[in-house]
Structure 1
Amino acid sequence: MDVFTAELSQALLRMGLFIFIGWFLARQGLVVSAARPSIMRLVIGVFFPALIFSRVCNNPLLSSSSRAALYLGVGFAMVVVGILVSRLVAHLLGFKTGVTKRTFAYAAGINNFGYLGIPVTAALFNDHVMGVLLVHNVGVEAAVWTFGVAYLSGKKGWMFLKDLVQPMTVSLAIALVLNFLGWSNSAPVLFATQFTHVIGECAIPVGTILTGVYLFETIQGYRFFAEPRMTTGFILCRWLMIPMILLAAASFLIPDAELQKVMLVQAAMPAGIFSFLIVEMYKGEVAVALRCSVFTIAFCPLITPLWLYLGSRWLHLS
């Protein structure tokens, strides 16, 4: 499998350009901070649910409930394992128990599963694998908003399960039900699939541009190597331990070839670009999460192709 393709280079370049456009628009005052929440609601509540529906509905790989459960479960487990591994690294590096340690584990444990994972997957694989990725990513979202938020906030209990009922999970549920009932080839559903495909195409560009807007407003005074211990932790988590764990799991535990391809891409991803927004929402240390996002994304043009190359050989992907 050749991962050093023009399509992969273009996917990485597009992400960088979208972020720059958002940064430039914010710098010029063309997108003000008051507009961010509305755009975010549009991305999360409309564009991404449409993208999920169009890629999942009528996908032959998702006609089995057991397969869908596998993809969701692996996505959920990936976040749980990532946070626990990052917590262990924070402990070994001497982080004191508290908000900083929890923020580090949360930010380092969650990867860029969507905004970069989707275009990279599209550049390397076909639409069937993309459908698997989108179901997998809903499992990731479920873990981010339940286990992840519970850990970040330091609270216990089941109150965060209510966050599972949101547009992306509802869209996924409807698409899967239509698949299981055999209705996905009916004329009304085919029209809905085509319609949501057009809307869903806006998800990645608009969401990534919005990321640039957020970064402009939060990155003031950022110093790249100001926290060497923290930087070392990010390197250990995102560039060494978590990729190796994901690839080992894909190699020894996952028989599904499409899911192996999804896990290959996930292993190569930098830290999640929106983690610092959730950290801010739940009173964590935004500077820690922002440092993790910026540092790992800055080096992803080197690290991502490297892990894609190593992982494809490990998994014997053709």
Structure 2
Amino acid sequence: MELALISARQVVVFFMLIMTGYFAIKAKVLTPEARHHFSSLLVSIVVPCMLVNSYIAEFDAEVFHGIVLAFIHSFILIMIGLVIAVLAARRMGKDNRAIFEFAMIFSNAGYMGFPLIQALFGNEGLLYASSYNTVFNILIWTYGYARVSGQTDAKKVVNTIVRSPAMIAVVVGLVLYLFQIPVPELIHQPISQIGGLNTPISMMITGMILAGSELSKVIRDRAVLAIIGIRLILIPAVCLLIYGFLHISFGMASEVVLLLEACPCAAISTVFAVQFHYDEEKVAGAVILSTVLSILTLPVMAYIITTLL
């Protein structure tokens, strides 16, 4: 019951933020075009600050082995999801295939998963969750960004990725963490506060899209339902089966990343749908519906991982 309440509380906050964007458009406080400016602000400033802030932490040698293990498990699980998503996306419309694939691969682990991790595993679990977050962000801003942006020239893709604010932030953050470079509070505080805008702005963009869409039509779309089923059920189930087949130990590190891999579609899917002109309504619908349904699926997954296995 506690797991269900934690998940439900996160979803309520999620929807309050979404409705803020929704009513801002309906009340004409913002124009529909504002979502493009919000998107640019998020990708260029807010996300990089969030990434750098996540690495400003004290190095603990005692759990470093677990962090490395969580890093390896995270890469394996996300790659399993990537293969499943690529295969599933072949049957979807070509025009939106890239963003649908993206929504299936990447989960909303930071917002929906971290509260569950803290409740189940405490602060040590959050350290392992940070490993997942590192792999997650590296793959989002390499493979994910290249895929949805439609870049086909390898040199241009590499150039775009290397120069992207998010990848620069990952490099800066890793240097700060590994070398334990002290960051003055005068600098750390604004970085932390700007990074904290990530979820509110992402959700507001989703609400702004919904203000001009027909949600009742979107939720009946087969592609949207397929994305949700693959993201919430198929990918976590396959990951569990592979771990069982290979007799991989279910220690805390693997339990944490398995749970994070079972989270709903990443909110940044909507941001990229806006930025690269995909079907915004369908992607927003997948993000919202998968979040609602995760109230049921996440506690079940947590119970299977922590009790049955």
Task: Sort the Cα spacing of 1:136 and 1:167 in 2 relative to 1 into closer, same or farther, 3 A.
Answer: farther
The structural deviation recorded for 1:297 is: 2.8
3-state SS, counterpart of residue 53 of structure 1: helix
Please say if residues 211 and 274 of structure 1, whose CA atoms lie closer than 8 Å, have aligned partners that are also in contact.
no
The structural deviation recorded for 1:264 is: 1.0
Aligned residue in 2 for 1:205: 200
Aligned residue in 1 for 2:264: 270
Aligned residue in 2 for 1:215: 210
| Aligned with 2:235 (options 242, 253, 259) | 242
Aligned-partner residue type, residue 156 of structure 2: M
| Aligned with 1:168 (options 166, 169, 174) | 166
Aligned residue in 1 for 2:152: 155
How far apart in 1 are the matches of 2:60 and 2:180?
A: 13
Task: Sort the Cα spacing of 1:62 and 1:193 in 2 relative to 1 into closer, same or farther, 3 A.
Answer: farther
For 1:88-142, what per-residue CA distance to the aligned partner results, in whole angstroms no more than 9, with x for missing partners? 3355xxx278335555433323322344344554555545544543443343233
| Aligned with 1:233 (options 226, 232, 241) | 226
Please say if residues 70 and 131 of structure 2, whose CA atoms lie closer than 8 Å, have aligned partners that are also in contact.
yes
The structural deviation recorded for 1:19 is: 1.3
3-state SS, counterpart of residue 39 of structure 2: helix
Unaligned residue ranges in structure 1 (runs of 5+): none
How far apart in 2 are the matches of 1:63 and 1:38?
A: 44
Q: Structure 2 matches for 1:1-318, cutoff 5 A?
A: 4=3, 6-61=5-60, 75=74, 77-90=76-89, 95=91, 98-121=94-117, 124-152=120-148, 153=150, 155=152, 157-161=154-158, 162-184=160-182, 188-189=183-184, 192-217=187-212, 219-220=213-214, 222-224=216-218, 226-228=220-222, 230=223, 233-248=226-241, 252-253=247-248, 257-258=252-253, 260-267=255-262, 269-279=263-273, 281-282=275-276, 284-286=278-280, 288-315=282-309
How far apart in 1 are the matches of 2:131 and 2:80?
A: 18
How far apart in 2 are the matches of 1:250 and 1:174?
A: 33
The structural deviation recorded for 1:43 is: 3.2
Task: Sort the Cα spacing of 1:280 and 1:141 in 2 relative to 1 into closer, same or farther, 3 A.
Answer: same
Please say if residues 52 and 171 of structure 1, whose CA atoms lie closer than 8 Å, have aligned partners that are also in contact.
yes
Task: Sort the Cα spacing of 1:69 and 1:99 in 2 relative to 1 into closer, same or farther, 3 A.
Answer: farther
Select between 12-21 and 40-49 the one with higher mean Cα deviation. Answer: 40-49
How far apart in 2 are the matches of 1:250 and 1:303?
A: 19
How far apart in 1 are the matches of 2:8 and 2:219?
A: 26
How far apart in 2 are the matches of 1:97 and 1:33?
A: 26
Task: Sort the Cα spacing of 1:310 and 1:216 in 2 relative to 1 into closer, same or farther, 3 A.
Answer: farther
How far apart in 1 are the matches of 2:170 and 2:115?
A: 19
The structural deviation recorded for 1:23 is: 1.4
* Structure having the larger proportion of residues in helix: 2
Task: Sort the Cα spacing of 1:194 and 1:278 in 2 relative to 1 into closer, same or farther, 3 A.
Answer: closer
- TM score, norm. by length of structure 2: 0.76
Task: Sort the Cα spacing of 1:199 and 1:259 in 2 relative to 1 into closer, same or farther, 3 A.
Answer: farther
How far apart in 2 are the matches of 1:104 and 1:47?
A: 24
The structural deviation recorded for 1:243 is: 0.8
Please say if residues 54 and 193 of structure 1, whose CA atoms lie closer than 8 Å, have aligned partners that are also in contact.
yes
3-state SS, counterpart of residue 4 of structure 1: helix
How far apart in 2 are the matches of 1:63 and 1:178?
A: 19
For 1:194-237, what per-residue CA distance to the aligned partner results, in whole angstroms no more than 9, with x for missing partners? 553344333323332333223323x3365155334x35633541
Identical aligned residues as a percent: 17
How far apart in 1 are the matches of 2:217 and 2:105?
A: 22
3-state SS, counterpart of residue 299 of structure 1: helix
How far apart in 2 are the matches of 1:222 and 1:154?
A: 33
Task: Sort the Cα spacing of 1:119 and 1:109 in 2 relative to 1 into closer, same or farther, 3 A.
Answer: same
How far apart in 1 are the matches of 2:62 and 2:47?
A: 21
- TM score, norm. by length of structure 1: 0.74
Please say if residues 79 and 144 of structure 1, whose CA atoms lie closer than 8 Å, have aligned partners that are also in contact.
no
Please say if residues 19 and 204 of structure 2, whose CA atoms lie closer than 8 Å, have aligned partners that are also in contact.
yes
